[in-house]
Each structure stands twice: as C-alpha cells, then as structure tokens.
Structure 1
C-alpha cells in the first residue's frame, strides 16, 4: 500500500502559492506613537504552561502594559508539574534585547521598586488569577477592572495569564505591538541560538548555506556558521519538519483510544487523575462522546502511523530528510519505528546533537522545545499533525511572517482526514492518495487573518504585515 512513497514528487509539495504569499511583507516593526511612560503602576506576570503558552502570555502582557500606561516587570514563568521546568525568562530569551527593543513602546524593568516588594499582594487584592479573567477578555475589561487596582495599590500580579486577551476588537497600534513582541522582541539566548545553529547545519548535511529565516532564529550564529563552512560544501539538503503532537498529555486529554487496549486505558486514566482532575470529574458526571465518535469527528490526535500515511500519500519520497520535533512520543521508540521503517532518513534533535551538546538543556523542557522551534521554523516544508497546537501555530506564523512566500506549511483538516483514514482498509492506495492530496491542497490557500483568530498563527493582516501589490 505504501509504494507511493517512491513515485515522483508533486511539483507543489515544497512550495507555497508564491505570488499571493509573497505579496505580504513584515512590517510590525513600524511605530506610530509616543512612548508610554508607565506612570500607572507596575504589572507582574507569572505565566503558566509550556514555552508556547508563555510566549503568548508575554506578548499579551506587553500589550496590556501599554493599554494601562503601566510599567511591565520582566515576566516570570510558573513551575508546572507537567513541564517540570524551572527555566525563567532570561534562560530562554535575551532580556536586554527585549527591554531595549520595546523601549519606544513601553517601560520595562527587571524588578519592582523596593517599597513594593514587601507588600502582601494577595492580602491587598492585587493578585489576579485566570479564574478572575474570562477567556479572550476585551481591552475594556482591563480598563474597568484592573486599572482601578493599579491606581489603588500601584501593582497588579497576573498569575497564569493564559489566553486572557481577545484578538478582536483591538486598536490597530496595540495589535501591532503584540506582533512586534512576538516576531521581533523575543530572541533566544546565545546558548540556544548556537546549539540551534549546529542543529540546522546538520539537518542540511553541514552545508554552508543559510535559510531565509536563520537570521531571525539564530542571530549571529547564522553568519558564523556560513563563514566556517568550506567553500566546497555540498548543496544543502532539503528537509521536512514534522510536529508529532502525540505526547502523553495530549493523548490523555483527548479521551481517544489508540489501539493499546485495557492497559492503555488504565494508563491514560491514571495520568488524567493526576494532571487533569477536572476532566476526570466531568467524565464521572457527564455523558461524553465515545472514543469512536471523537475519532469520526476528527477530534483525536493523529498517531505517528497516521502521520506517516499522510506524508506518503502526499508524495514525499522514501529518501526525504525528515526532522521530528518533540520526541517524547507516547508509546516511545516502538511508535517511532513505524516512521523510520518508511523514512529511514528521519531524525530528532537527540540523534543530531551529541549528549555533550544537549547536556546544558537537559531537564529544561522549554529550552529543548526552543531547539525544536528553530529546527521546525527553518525547515523547507513544515507539517503539523494538530492544527490546534500552540507550537504549530507559532511555527507556521513565523514562517508566514519571515518566509517571503517560500515556506510551505501542511495543515491537515483532521475531520476530513478522519473519514479518509476510517476507509483506508477498503480503498485502493491510489484513491487514498488522491483524497489525501485534495484534502491538504484545500488548506494551502493564502488567506488573511480571520476575525478573532490568532495573530501569531495568521500574521497576514494589516497590523502585522503590509501588502506589496
């Protein structure tokens, strides 16, 4: 059935619709306002989640600080029992660049003034949790509910701050500031950039060429790598990056089943009881859709085996170089074996970087995820298996913003694919191939940001990018 992996590749496999995609160029760096002096007190943010949720929270905090004419204290990151990472802002991002780049927009300091540090913020009502803020809250919420606290206590501490700011309606310059933070102000620290440069060099078979996004991802390391490479270096290898969103947290939260029988069900239920107690409680009190119903609606994560079927049906050859981001796959190496049997040139960062090179990042999942972000964003083509993934959204948005119309992203419509996969045992490979290609081709069109959707994922909007035609 998988003999299609050796056919000639379709012409558009490694391409975006270039003409409409290249009509957009980055312009979130353009400013048209005076600097905010931050006179209305201080905003503390302790962001929760992994590196992707934290990044979004930081950008939202920047926007709220400007909205409230307040001073932002360098954000902190909450230690999570899921991620188990003690990394703080300066372990991942260049603190001085962040402060200096955003100085024309807002005032940023590294810590609270001495007279505010000793305050019991919870006792005086200055701690605001995610329970206190509705999801996708509008700017007027912050003006009405948060600004009075700043006037009274001079400080507000947002604890969590996940997904607590709407994408619409937002004033033009404030939305642009949010883009400016994500695409310009947040740069990885040299340690991550240097190791990221090694990763890219090896993904491209140690060739000296740099990709169009390297400068924005690895900074000066992109230039030094080019200088150090041999003038006789062979042509860089084209590679596909795949984000397999199939970690145990995703698998357990989905409430789907993946062929592991009773042992799998017990393992995932035990994980849910520890990490998703609210979901466990809902299961006991509410009739939820069955795993089969969830799968038919496209609500289950694609398994690594399904991802490989997808790539083969699209026409990627057996010799394709594939970089898999996020190697903590549920089911471990045995599940990855299905991928490597069809695509032997499949690698992870753990295969390309030595244990010595990876040692500074061990036990820091966010810093390891930053390396995956670099490897995925710089790829010649990027395939996501879950369009709702924050990681995939940030990667695809970065590729749109800086890619110049040359960085294709494969976004599956999981509902369409579910109906195709459910029939894959009863249809010919040729028919399966045609249906998969049609489903993916329909997601490849160039579109402006839909209303209320993420500017990080869809930066083609007047606040973030400018049209050249």
Structure 2
C-alpha cells in the first residue's frame, strides 16, 4: 500500500513561495546578477542556492519521517556549484620552474575561516609568481589566547602532498633566507593578478638576489 501525504507537500509549497518572496525583497541586490539582463542566468544567486537546498532537505525529512530513516543533508545533490578557474585545472597547468623566484609566507589573522581564506590567497599568489610557499604563521595568540600552528589545525603531510606539482611548499625558510628582512605586502591593497606581477614580483626577485 502506498500512502501519499498531502499536508507536507502543501506545506513545502507555501514555505517555498514565502521564502522566495522574502529573499527577493530582502536581498541586497536582485537575486539574479547583471548577466540576467543579457539573457544568461547567474549560478551564484545565493537565495536560490539556499532555497534549493532547503527544499531538498524538507523533502528528504518528510520522506524519512514516513520511512523511519535519518536525515542526511550531505547526500543532497548540489544543483548549483562554483565554477573553477580554468588555469587552476590540471590540464591547464604549466610545469613549475626548476628555480624559485623567492619565498612567500602568509601571516593569517582572525578566525579559522578568515585564516583559511588568507592562506588560499597565498597559495594562488605563490603559483602566480612562481614562488615557494612557506607554511603560514597564525597570529592568534593575542586574539584567541591560542598558540596553535598550521600543523595543529590541518594535516600537514597531506597538504604538502596535494600541492605537489602546483606550488612548492617548505615548512621553514632556509637559514640563509631566514636572516634577511622580509618585504611586507598588504594583499587588501592589491588590485589583481597583474598588480602582483608588476609590483610584488620585482621586490620578491630583489630580495632573492640580496
């Protein structure tokens, strides 16, 4: 015997319509990006990503309630995803140079998400400038009263293994480089990848020669 529950379906419809209207009205910008004007819908409209995920979760919850199963949000198929940069893909990568252009270390501040974001920027910059990436320094002692380092938060060996062929990673600076005064770069003031090549790369090469 098959039993259809009409009430959950009606509830889903009402809640979905309400969320759609609320997100449309309260969103800081119209749910579709400017690309919508040219006839191409955006994949990055966060209200709609949340709406699809919410609907899938509600449907799964109602289904598992009837069957006595458990809700597993991570099994929901993602309807919209971020598009990866093409140059980041394996088939578009160029081989790393035999000689590095210098060493880059990222000083990470704030919470875990902000530190992760800063370090991801460092990986991209090191790849762009063909530099060697030094494991970051977590500036958390003054804010979190914490002394954890990169290896305490992430799987160090796995990270180095995954970066193999993409960015060269070292745990510490070579002794002859560690004694030199580093050049401080504020990433928030950089305007893009060409700014790094034109402004930061010369300083990196100069520090390598000195």
Q: Same fold (TM over 0.5)?
A: yes
Equivalent residue number for residue 185 of structure 2: 128
Equivalent residue number for residue 36 of structure 1: 96
Equivalent residue number for residue 114 of structure 1: 175
Matching of residue 15 in structure 1 with residue 56 in structure 2: yes
Q: Compute the displacement of 1:34 (Å).
A: 2.8
More helix by share: 2
Describe the SS at the equivalent of 1:75: strand
Q: Compute the displacement of 1:78 (Å).
A: 0.9
Counterpart mapping for 1:88-99 below 5 A: 88-99=149-160
Describe the SS at the equivalent of 1:57: helix
Equivalent residue number for residue 137 of structure 1: 191
TM-score by length of 2: 0.57
1:84 pairs with one of 126, 140, 145: 145
Q: Identify which of structures 1 and 2 has the higher relative contact order when contacts are C-alpha pairs closer than 8 Å and 6+ apart.
A: 1
- Within 2, Cα distance between the matches of 1:106 and 1:67? 9
Counterpart mapping for 1:58-457 below 5 A: 58-121=119-182, 126-129=183-186, 133-134=188-189, 137-154=191-208
Runs of 4+ with deviation above 4 angstroms = 16-21, 23-30
Q: Compute the displacement of 1:127 (Å).
A: 2.2
Q: CA, structure 1 residues 91+142, in 2 after alignment: closer, same or farther (shift >3 Å)? A: same
Unaligned 5+ residue runs, structure 2? 1-6, 17-53, 60-75
Unaligned 5+ residue runs, structure 1? 1-6, 156-469
Q: Compute the displacement of 1:49 (Å).
A: 1.0
Describe the SS at the equivalent of 1:106: coil
- Within 1, Cα distance between the matches of 2:80 and 2:140? 42
Query: How many residues are aligned here?
Result: 142
TM-score by length of 1: 0.27
Q: Compute the displacement of 1:52 (Å).
A: 0.6
Q: CA, structure 1 residues 143+16, in 2 after alignment: closer, same or farther (shift >3 Å)? A: farther
Equivalent residue number for residue 460 of structure 1: none
Describe the SS at the equivalent of 2:114: helix
Matching of residue 48 in structure 1 with residue 89 in structure 2: no
